[in-house]
Structures are given as C-alpha cells and as structure tokens.
Structure 1
C-alpha cells in the first residue's frame, strides 16, 4: 500500500528505538515519531552502569546516539512531530501530528514513556529552570558550591543526591517518611557521605523568590509545623531537585487503549494491547521494572509481534 507505513512507533526513547531497529531490520517500512529529544528520560542520565554490555562510563546521551544510528543504518525514519490524535480501530491506523500531517500505518507501537512527577506546590512551576530542576545531570553544575535540596526517597532520589555532592557544598534529602524506598546499599552510601543531610517526615509546601528561588517553605507531616528556609545571603539562591516518581504519558490514549488506575497501558507478554495491531512498550505500560534494559526488550518484542501481526493480517 502506497504511503502506508508498516509500523509507526510513537516515542523515541529506548523502547521506541529498539522497536524501530527490529522493525527496520525485518525490512518493514518503519517510522518513529518524537516530539522533542530522542532518548526519553535516559538522555538526562549521567552514567548508565547497569545496562548489560554498555562500555565503561557510558552516558545516557551516548547510548541513545548509538541506538539512533543503528535505526537509521537499517532504514528507519525518525520524524520530529508531536502526535496529537490517533484513530486506532480498523486495519489501517491513522496518526495525526501537530505539524498538520496525517500518517497511516498497519501497526502502531506506543512507546510514549513517562515524565517526572511534580510536587504540585505553589511556586514550583514559576521557578522551574530558576532553581527547581528534575535532572541533576542537566543542572548540577549551576549549583557549584551552593546548597541544594533533593525531594524524594527512592533509588533515583538518593542516587541523584550523591551525584549532586560532586557540585553542591551541601545536599539535604527531603522525604515525607522516616524510611526510604531505595536499595539498602544506596541508602548506606548516602548516610556515609559527609555532604548529605536528611530532613525526614517533611514535605515542600511552597517555593518562593523574586525572579530566582530564594526560600522554601517546609511542613513536618507529623507535627504539622511549617518553617521557611532561606538561601544563604552570599549565595542569593539554592536548588530544589525533585525525584518523586514518574507519570505515564498516556493521556492521548485514554478511552481508546485499556489502562490501569495509574494510566499505564495494559499489555500481554507480547506487548499486545486490547486493540489488534496496536502494541505498547517501555515505561508507559504496566510492568514491574522500568529500566533501559526492560524498555529495549519491550521494544524488540513489540516490533517482532507487529511484524507477525502484519504478515497474518495483510498476507505479506
């Protein structure tokens, strides 16, 4: 069919790029759509130490660059377009981009990923990029010899706090409970780090400043007491890094593809959704572990199953 892709992949994170690689290698006409930067969350990762076979000191961006290169070598197209509408019922799926272009495909792989969860307090939005950050790798060097607060208690929060100690003179981890959700080995390392302090049973109530972040209002969830912490006068500002989980980027598919209560897409082991010819891969689907290695595995499976679906459905 002319002007119809075999596989259209929405999202160019590790899941989408792996699907693109497997789709293109199978000689299927493959396109990957990405609204912003290729790579998803991994591009803000300073070091990827737990991806099997990755070279020593591999960074998120370097790993993504290699994935993109592999996709292109096998003939996958990567298009910069934000997908704003989908029509997934029927044999030929229709995808519409913000560019105004309309694309058609025999199978679709949703690899839309997830994005950082926000605190949701007053001032957070206003001071994002002016003291508030969701990426230590991106912004740590702006806070050389400054004080920073890290909000969260999971693996990423503690790991990023330790990374920030390379730059900041003091790092305070703010967590709403006493106990942490991170691996014990990571917690022990953080507690042994002389630059790290802890503010427990505490949440961020408000972020304040005049143009740049100057103070943070904290609340003790046990006593109900609030207190305001001001940046050192000589510094003039400080940093708040937020690592409290991720949110699936699946709003576009609500009411179309089956999801769980947290809006993660439900699939079987073959990445199939409730709609024939529509697959999901990576962080946007229901799964027990969200890591680069599981995302790439999802993408590979989705593409292989999409090829099988196309062969059976269209007799190719």
Structure 2
C-alpha cells in the first residue's frame, strides 16, 4: 500500500516534520538513517532551546522529540534508505534491511555532517571541548582561551563571534591567505590589531590535548617543518572546515547547489518544495548558513505543512 508520506532522517527537522504530519493525520513513516538523532546528539550542553532555561543535552532533546513523534503514532523505522527513485510516481525506495516502500510525498531531512580533521584525538574529545558550532557552544568558554581552525567564511565568522565571549581566540589556518569574503577578513584584522584574535597561519593541528575534564590544548605544526610546533593552551577547539551534506542518495534526481538540495521551487504555495513536486526538503540538507536545531525544526514544520497541502490538492 502506498504511504501518504515518508520522512527520511531523524534530526530536529525530521522529528518535527513527523510531529506535524502525524497531527495532520498523514500517518507518516520516519526512517531514521544510520545516525539516529542527527548531529545534535553529539552536543553535550544546549542552553538556547526556547522554553528550556536549564541546560539540556542534545541526546536528551532528540529523545524527547522521538517520544513526542511516537506518542502521535508516527511509525519510526530504524533503518537506512539505500535506493530511491524520485522519477516515478508514486516514489519508490528500498532500505538497508531490504524493505520496499512507495509514497505519494517524501520529506528529505538527512542533514549534513561537519567535516572534521581526521585526528584520533578529535573524536575522543568531541562534545568535550571539540565543537563545530560557536553559537551552540561558545558560551561555555566565556573568558577562556579557544581556537578556531579554518580559512573560509565560517571560520572567520566563528572567530569573530568567539572574540566577544572568550578571553583569547587563536585562528589556525594552513595557508596565509583566506578564502573568506573581504569584509570578513577586514573585520578579522581589526580584531587582530586589537589583540582579540591571534593569527596562526601556515600551521596545521597535529594533536588535540586533554584530560578527563576535556580539551586543554592543541599542538600545531608548521606546514613547512613538522618539527616546528607550538602548544596552545585552550579549553575549546572549534572546527570550521566545512560541512558535507548527506545528499548522495539524491544526486542526478534533484537540483542541488554544492550538494545542498535546492528548495523554494513553489514559494507561494510550497516553500520547501524541491525540483520535483511532492518531494520536500528541510533542515541542514538545504541550509548551509544558519545550521541551528531550531531553524531545522522550523523548516521541518514547514515541510510537513507543505506535504499536507500537496496531498490535499493532488492526492486526496
């Protein structure tokens, strides 16, 4: 039997879409993917979720969304979509456990993964000083020393943001020029001239140092001479070397921009619609700018409402 709606992904966007879709009596199926809960489950402390004035962990918040969705009778499938055909109607997909489904509408909420350095010590301290979001975690390093690694817009924006919170911000970049917009580079050098940011160009991170309390420092080596190194005493490392959208499954089927799925093909009626009517996308798979749990949830709500309108108009 063809389902009205299948949601692919179980981060804030996916779960919020499920909650709204279930309340609209669409009887959604949510397929979690291999990374149930999304990136947020790696966040140790969240203090900016509206209504939660006390600290909450990312794992706890995602578990609450899971409970909310299941309470409304969302069918949650702990599986991973390996094949999808969006060229045929109804849409057809196969999961890793070889289950086959057809659906009149699809919401894609597969998110994006932060690009990491690939160091063994990086994973060890993830959520304990290693972060990919200054807005999320910068507050925990108030009046302390932190480091940012990267040379694009995101890295400089993170360093500028942290300079208003931390006592000292090191910006580590493997080159001596930046890919970022000129206006951001100018702001960066204004902060450097005011001794708010310390620039470490032509350096790479070779090791993240820490103990049971979390990150305590980083070892950075010159790209020209690995024996030329420094130890920076810091409490937090913010990695800003890009994100990898989880969109490989949809290549050659949906319009994309650098791997992010394009939406707003019918902005007056369905603003989360992709290049294929009936296929909607929400969360970090479409957003490379804000990348916040709350904006992902908001777009998940929008996608569910868009799917509901589409079904009422074309399927019912």
Shift of 1:116: 1.6
Query: Partner residue of 1:187?
Result: 163
Match of 2:91 among 93, 108, 118: 93
Q: Provide the secondary structure at the position in 1 that maps to 2:299.
A: helix
Q: If the length of structure 1 is used for normalisation, what is the TM-score?
A: 0.73
Shift of 1:287: 5.5
Q: CA 1:161 to 1:203, structure 2 compared with 1: closer, same or farther past 3 Å? A: farther
2-side partners of 1:290 and 1:81: how far apart?
24
2-side partners of 1:243 and 1:275: how far apart?
32
2-side partners of 1:134 and 1:244: how far apart?
19
Q: CA 1:76 to 1:11, structure 2 compared with 1: closer, same or farther past 3 Å? A: same
Shift of 1:67: 0.8
Q: CA 1:52 to 1:217, structure 2 compared with 1: closer, same or farther past 3 Å? A: closer
1:250 pairs with 2:247 = yes
Q: Provide the secondary structure at the position in 2 that maps to 1:256.
A: coil
Shift of 1:271: 0.4
Query: Partner residue of 2:182?
Result: none
**Counterpart contact for 2:147–2:238, Cα < 8 Å:** no
Q: Deviations over 1:154-209 (max 9, x none)?
A: 7269839839x7xxxx96655559x832274522432259xxx966114427669x
1:155 pairs with 2:137 = no
Q: If the length of structure 2 is used for normalisation, what is the TM-score?
A: 0.73
Kindly report which structure 2 residues correspond to 1:1-316, keeping only aligned pairs within 5 A, or say none: 2=1, 4-119=2-117, 124=118, 127-128=119-120, 131-133=121-123, 136-137=126-127, 155=134, 159=138, 162=141, 174=149, 180-182=156-158, 184=160, 186-192=162-168, 200-204=200-204, 218-219=221-222, 224-227=224-227, 229=229, 242-260=239-257, 262-268=258-264, 269=267, 270-286=271-287, 288-315=289-316
Shift of 1:16: 0.4
Q: Provide the secondary structure at the position in 2 that maps to 1:23.
A: helix
**Counterpart contact for 2:148–2:240, Cα < 8 Å:** no
Point out where structure 2 has 5 or more consecutive residues left out of the alignment. 170-196, 209-217
1-side partners of 2:207 and 2:125: how far apart?
18
Q: CA 1:202 to 1:111, structure 2 compared with 1: closer, same or farther past 3 Å? A: same
**Counterpart contact for 2:221–2:230, Cα < 8 Å:** no
Q: Provide the secondary structure at the position in 2 that maps to 1:16.
A: helix
Shift of 1:42: 1.0
TM-align CA RMSD: 3.6
Shift of 1:52: 1.9
Q: CA 1:203 to 1:151, structure 2 compared with 1: closer, same or farther past 3 Å? A: farther
Point out where structure 1 has 5 or more consecutive residues left out of the alignment. 141-149, 209-214, 232-238
